[in-house]
A and B are shown apart, each in its own frame.
Chain A
Amino acid sequence: MWYYEKKLQYPVRVGICSPKLAKFLIEQYGGTDGELAAALRYLNQRYTIPSRVIGLLNDIGTEEFAHLEMIATMVYKLTKDATPEQLKEAGLGDHYVDHGKSVYYHNAAGQKFDMGLQSKGDPIADLYEDIAAEEKARSTYQWIINLSDDPQINDALGFLRERENVHSQRFREAVELLKEEQGQKRVF
């Protein structure tokens, strides 16, 4: 079960009124390598992974939901006060017709969230998938930062990008744990 803390993992400040940026940010909301996909993938993989790694997937999967919430906050702040005309100019006209101003799970190109989540039931295959996904999420943050002129948004995106680095490192450690021979001591 989960407990909810009614605050964001890291403060989200949006300094510039740029609805266009929301269209890019939505990639991390409903994109293939976005936060929703990450959360669902890890929580799903928990069941078929050796016991010593379950907790890691649980923790990171949970944290991804906290990231999802930060992205949603950014998107919402950038679109809530926009007129339909401004949304159209930002490339969000289709989104507005489909979903009004609600946040929605699709990628920057408007494709609906893809349930093709990776979960192979093979511990090594799954962890390598997760390492790759973290590196891809890290690059997505880089590309969004490159497109954004808002230093306050970029500050929060920088935080999220760093978390991907940490997750990647932890998954790499998990692979090392699963590679260990029985009864052999770990050397740090």
Chain B
Amino acid sequence: MSTSRKWYAPYISPLDPCPPLSPIAYETPAQLYLGFQPQGLEQFSPFDALVHGTLWPALFTPYTNPYQSKKRGEF
């Protein structure tokens, strides 16, 4: 199962003017991994599909502010 968010640690100089912000998050949403969408993929109910913006849970990649969670480097 692919993760939709990854982290990397940029180079930090001892001479940087501001306290380091690390790691940094970047998004790798589900469509990067799915390839050609397989047939018979699991579906949301019509109501949930409307709410989620997609019929397929496999394509549902919600976004949250990565810098708001207490533990950085995690989801």
User: A122–B4 Cα gap in the complex (Å)?
Assistant: 13
Asked if A178 and B26 make an inter-chain contact with CB atoms under 8 angstroms apart, the answer reads yes
Shortest distance from the beta carbon of A120 to any chain B beta carbon, whole Å: 11
User: Using Cβ atoms and an 8 Å threshold, which residues of chain B touch A146?
Assistant: none
The answer to the question of A55 belonging to the interface, with a C-beta cut-off of 8 Å to chain B, is: no
Chain A contacts for B33, CB-based, 8 A: 179
A181 to chain B, nearest CB (A): 6
- Across the interface, A124 reaches (CB within 8 A) one of B2, B8, B27, namely B27
User: How many whole Å from A45's CB to the nearest CB in chain B?
Assistant: 13
A113 CB to nearest B CB, Å: 30
Contacts of B10 in A (CB 8 A): 50-51
Q: Which of B12-70 contact A (CB under 8 A)?
A: 24, 26-29, 32-33
Report which B residues bind A (CB closer than 8 A).
2-3, 6, 8-11, 24, 26-29, 32-33
The 7 closest A-B pairs by CB, nearest first: A50-B8, A123-B26, A179-B28, A179-B32, A51-B8, A181-B3, A51-B10
- Beyond A50-B26, A179-B33, 20 additional contacts (C-beta under 8 Å) are A50-B8, A50-B10, A50-B24, A51-B8, A51-B9, A51-B11, A52-B8, A122-B27, A123-B26, A124-B27, A124-B28, A124-B29, A124-B32, A178-B26, A179-B28, A179-B32, A181-B2, A181-B3, A181-B6, A182-B6
